[in-house]
Amino acid sequence: MATAPAKPIPAAAGSCGGDDPDLISLLPDCILTTILSLLPLPAAARTQILSRRWRRLWPSAPLHLLDSHLPVPTSSLPAVVSRILASHRGNAARFDVLLARPSAADLDSWLRSLAAKHLQELVLRPPSDEPLRLPPSLLSCRSLRSAELTNCRLPEDAAAVAEVYFPHLAELTLRLSRVPAAAALHGLLAGCPELASLSLDRVFGCRTLRVRSRSLRSLTVSVSLTRRRLLEGAEELEQLIVEDAPALERLLAHDINWGPSINVMHAPRLKMLGYLGVGIPELQLGSALFRSMRAVRLSAEFRCVRTLALEMADPQVKPVAVFLRCFPCLETLYVTSHMVVPQSMEILNYEMDDPIECLNYRLKTVVLKGYRGRKHELQLAMFLVRSARVLRVMKFLCENDCNPSWLTNQKRRLLLDNRASLGAQFVFQKITKSYIRFLKQASNISLVDPFDT
């Protein structure tokens, strides 16, 4: 059967002539504006010179305005950003301030304009050491789905704080920022009914945080002793209480050398927990209680936890084994040697009398970060080798050069022939010493395993 010849594609109205038709101009406006929204802002704006049709496309395309992409001197950024916002007629997808230092009037005007453009993503990371005071107009950006506020001071107007409502906000990162009081932070969380991921990275003005959220799935906290000394009179987070978080799956603690204390009262879906270390003064998980990694009261209520990360100055068998008892369904264990030793820990011997459920039936992956083959690290590894009956892989992430003679000696001392799981693999890998434990942004919820860095 003969095939009819394909009809030639007519040249578009915006074609510049010649033999080659302007195929891209044949696309409908909705596709072209989407393409424009993915281009760097200067390139997208230059498309206006192509034709009359293209002249009206960019002003109506979703706006991605990042001040770091604008080819102008830093001192001119506020004026340029203001002109772009005034001339652009479409919605705003993303707005980043990384280089500009706007005046209070400019910032207020920008936020009002962005609220009218239904802004979805906001990143404020001003370059100055002086915190950027956020005007109450921030609260009018109710279309936000993601926000990162770094080195900012949240609105202090009590009436404005009472009106906090971000019905679509799913990710929120507060870093090196100030809140006027604990009540303001509690009000912010209460006003975000769809919040799924929250990162509090060195937030000042709130000493005790009580988390009540039906939507929250990931919570990351971090404190810094150095920063506390720099800001005299500033209150950092000292106590985190998870009162009611039925959807919480991840509780991540970064920079834990100096707290905070953590109390998890109700988080029935908690799957991932860490890092936990001696810098946490008090840790309460249901009825189980630890003080500086020492067990005061044990309980195995959190059968939902699948991944646990511990951080120790000198990893030892007993404290690790005690934690394993609290999580009978644990599948993955990370143990990291401290980069900083906040306090000494007494050397403890451990003989396993009662069986540990996760070692017999669940634990499949063990990662020992910063492994150097020291006495107590070796004892811990030997304990896990001979006790984890369903172990699939044990990784030794070593800070030394892993030379062949050292590796041979370690494998001999580990008594791998006596392993409880015959199918287990043992991997030694050289790593570079790093102070980064995991990504602290709220976007870490997109990572399958944030500890696997």
DSSP code per residue over 34-94: HHHHHS-HHHHHHGGGS-HHHHHHGGGSPEEEEGGG--S-GGGHHHHHHHHHHH--S-EEE
Q: Sorting pLDDT into bands at 50, 70 and 90, what band is 185?
A: very high
Range in 27-31, 137-141, 173-177 the model is least confident about: 27-31
Q: Which pLDDT score, from 0 to 100, does residue 444 have?
A: 80
pLDDT at 340 over 60: no
DSSP class of 25: G
Q: Which pLDDT score, from 0 to 100, does residue 221 have?
A: 94
User: Do residues 189 and 215 touch, judged by C-beta distance below 8 A?
Assistant: no
Mean pLDDT of the chain: 85
Q: Which pLDDT score, from 0 to 100, does residue 271 have?
A: 96
Range in 37-41, 201-205, 322-326 the model is least confident about: 37-41
Q: Which pLDDT score, from 0 to 100, does residue 415 have?
A: 93
pLDDT at 46 over 50: yes
Q: Which pLDDT score, from 0 to 100, does residue 293 have?
A: 82
Residue 371 bridge partners (DSSP)? 398
Q: Which pLDDT score, from 0 to 100, does residue 353 have?
A: 60
Q: Which pLDDT score, from 0 to 100, does residue 6 have?
A: 42
Percent of residues in the chain assigned helix, strand, coil, to nearest 5: 30, 25, 45
CA 49 to chain centre: 41
Range in 14-28, 48-62, 147-161, 346-360 the model is least confident about: 14-28
- Structure tokens given for 90: 């479409």
Range in 97-101, 178-182, 328-332, 346-350 the model is least confident about: 346-350
**More confident site: 146 or 432:** 146
**More confident site: 437 or 377:** 377
pLDDT at 347 over 50: no
Q: How many CB atoms lie within 10 A of CB 133?
A: 13
241-286 pLDDT per residue, tens: 999 999 999 999 987 677 799 999 999 999 999 899 888 899 999 9
Instruction: For residue 369, give the H/E element and its range.
Output: strand 365-371
Range in 23-37, 187-201, 298-312, 389-403 the model is least confident about: 23-37
pLDDT at 16 over 50: no
Q: Which pLDDT score, from 0 to 100, does residue 437 have?
A: 73
Region 310-337: what's the mean pLDDT? Answer: 91
Region 21-48: what's the mean pLDDT? Answer: 68
How far is Cα 314 from Cα 340, in angstroms, rounded to an integer?
A: 11
Q: Which pLDDT score, from 0 to 100, does residue 79 have?
A: 96
pLDDT at 128 over 90: no
Region 393-408: what's the mean pLDDT? Answer: 91
Q: Which pLDDT score, from 0 to 100, does residue 190 have?
A: 94
Beta strand pairing call for 307-312 and 272-277: parallel
**Long-range contacts of residues 253-256, Cβ cutoff 8 Å, at least 24 apart:** 253/220, 253/221, 253/222, 253/280, 254/201, 254/220, 254/221, 254/222, 254/437, 254/438, 254/440, 255/202, 255/222, 255/223, 255/224, 255/437, 256/223, 256/280, 256/311
213-245 pLDDT per residue, tens: 999 999 999 987 554 444 445 688 999 999 999
How far is Cα 369 from Cα 229, in angstroms, rounded to an integer?
A: 30
Range in 24-33, 62-71, 172-181, 224-233 the model is least confident about: 224-233
Q: Which pLDDT score, from 0 to 100, does residue 350 have?
A: 45
User: Do residues 101 and 124 touch, judged by C-beta distance below 8 A?
Assistant: no
Q: Which pLDDT score, from 0 to 100, does residue 312 have?
A: 86
Global confidence as pTM:
0.84
Q: Sorting pLDDT into bands at 50, 70 and 90, what band is 8?
A: very low
